[in-house]
Structure 1
Amino acid sequence: MRTRTTTAAATALTAAVALLLTGCGGSDSSGGSDSKTSDEIAGADTGPGSAAPSESAAGDGIERPEIKLPSDVENVFEGGTTGDEAKDAVLADNERMINSIDEAITVDAGKHPALKFYSKGDALLAAATYIKSFYDSGTSWAGVTRYYDRDVTLNGTTSATVTYCGDETKSYSKDRKTKQVKRTPGDADDYVSYNARMEKNAQGVWQTVKVSSERGAERCRP
């Protein structure tokens, strides 16, 4: 499995903030991370990959940054439509938030504009810390992560809560330099429960402001 830290346990390090400003693959004066600044994908295949829900076809008039994942990385989202336009918009931006984090982990580019587009506040700082941990350890990930049991609660017109589960039994740690994938059997810890608080900004984007998670959550296990 690929190791995920819980948002509650993540520390908003100064280095993590610098990561947001310079790009995840940028130079880090603190040492321990990859100093490449190329737009090539480090530790991942470079063929066509999966993307977030179509940015150009979103139909909401919002100019969104493209999110492109490597060909060996895939996030599968179940239950993307509810029949409620507002809830569907929340779920769509929740997907984009998740993909933006995984793009920053798996794609060694100078900038990752989608990261700050879909997250802010505590969620953004925690995401930066989490992403930095992969670069510091010289790892990435490959495989498929499934998200399911997704539910939206609207709190007025500009606030919402999303709960969902993640199945990481088919996503694996990958060495960033050698590209070697460490395939391990799935276990109970590969099932993660998430609770995300989201706010709609003036542009109409549902940004994630806080996320908590529980690894090995019983409610998410088959």
Structure 2
Amino acid sequence: MNRPIRLVTAALTASAALLLTACGSGGDDKSSDEIEGAGDGGGKASASASAEPEGAKRPEIKLPAEFRAEFAGWTDSDPKLRAILDDGREELRAKYAAIIEGDPESDAVAFYNSGTSLTTARKWIKGFTDTDDSLIGEIKAYNAKANIADNGAGLLFYCVDERKASTKNRKTKKVTATPDTPESVLQYRARLTKSPKGVWQTVSLETVPGGCK
């Protein structure tokens, strides 16, 4: 890639090291929005009933055909943990969509992030929009594990393989591929809190390049 994607916020040790080339983070081979266990194809993710606790209306997030994100195995038999997985998945998709749309102030990104995590997400997206870069290719997000801490916070760990993703400049059409190295497979470590509307919002995010073996 032609520039580092990773952004670190010291306050929460939050880093967003996604989408090294045209891809975002975590994409597989099903469809830009196809998640295992949540049959939705055609590049859009509609919120399922289980993903809308307490009547909260989730934003519709669309990804174009040239960018595919697969979330393999993102489900759990426990509805509480499944809700964390659902909102954590959409948080990542919202950031990819914002980069592709060139919109650092995306309402969907703000819906799924709060506090320092929202500031960091917007800064990361702006790094793409400032250079007029979009995302193409595919990512795969897998091995997702959710838990609820004793204090009620949500914990979410997952892996994102960005090696088939690239950035594409909107003006020059130049494509810069993500390096095919172990560091391009990232482990995400997120902490989430539940909003009054029942949405699991990401409040801190740490990424570890090469953290998934």
TM-score range for the pair, normalised by the shorter chain length: 0.7 to 0.9
| Partner of residue 115 from structure 2, selected from 118, 121, 132 | 121
- What's the counterpart of residue 50 of structure 1? 43
Q: 1:10 touches 1:130 (CA, 8 Å); kept in 2? A: no
Aligned partner letter, 1:90 = I
Structure having the larger proportion of residues in strand: 2
The question of 1:4 aligning with 2:5 is answered yes
Structure 2, unpaired ranges of 5+: 13-40
150, 172, 190: which is aligned to 1:196? 190
Q: Once the 2 structures are TM-superposed, how far is the Cα of residue 184 of structure 1 from its aligned partner?
A: 5.5
| CA distance 1:59–1:185, change in 2 (3 Å) | closer
Cα displacement (A) at 1:108: 3.3
Give the CA deviation at 1:183: 3.7
| RMSD value, Cα | 2.6
For residue 196 of structure 1, what is the amino acid of its counterpart? A
**Aligned twin of 2:17:** none
CA offset at residue 74 of structure 1?
1.6
Whole-angstrom distance in 2 between the partners of 1:172 and 1:10: 29
The runs of 5 or more residues in structure 1 that have no matched partner are: 12-47
Structure-to-structure mapping, 1:73-88, within 5 angstroms = 73-88=67-82
Q: For 2:59 and 2:180, how far apart are their aligned partners in 1? A: 33
Q: Which amino acid aligns with 1:50?
A: G
With over 3 angstroms needed to count, the CA separation of the structure-2 counterparts of 1:75 and 1:141, relative to structure 1, is same
Q: CA 1:137 to 1:162, structure 2 compared with 1: closer, same or farther past 3 Å?
A: same
- 1:92–1:180 distance in 2 versus 1, CA, 3 Å: same
Match of 2:203 in 1: 209
Between structure 1 and structure 2, the one with the greater Rg is: 1
Instruction: Return the TM-score normalized by structure 2.
Output: 0.76
* TM-score after normalising by structure 1: 0.73
State the distance in 2 between where 1:110 and 1:103 align.
10
Q: Distance in 2 between matches of 1:87 and 1:184?
A: 32
Equivalent residue for 2:158, pick from 153, 157, 164: 164
Q: For residue 154 of structure 1, what is the aligned residue in structure 2?
A: 148
Moved more, 157-166 or 64-73: 157-166
* SS across alignment from 2:92: helix
Q: 1:117 to 1:131 in 2, by over 3 A?
A: same
Match of 1:79, SS state, is coil
- What is the DSSP-based 3-state SS (H/G/I as helix, E as strand, rest coil) of the residue aligned with 1:194? strand
Count the aligned residue pairs: 182
The 2-side partners of 1:182 and 1:49 are apart by 26
Is 1:107 the counterpart of 2:101 in the alignment?
yes
Are positions 1:136 and 2:130 aligned together?
Answer: yes
Identity percentage over the alignment?
35
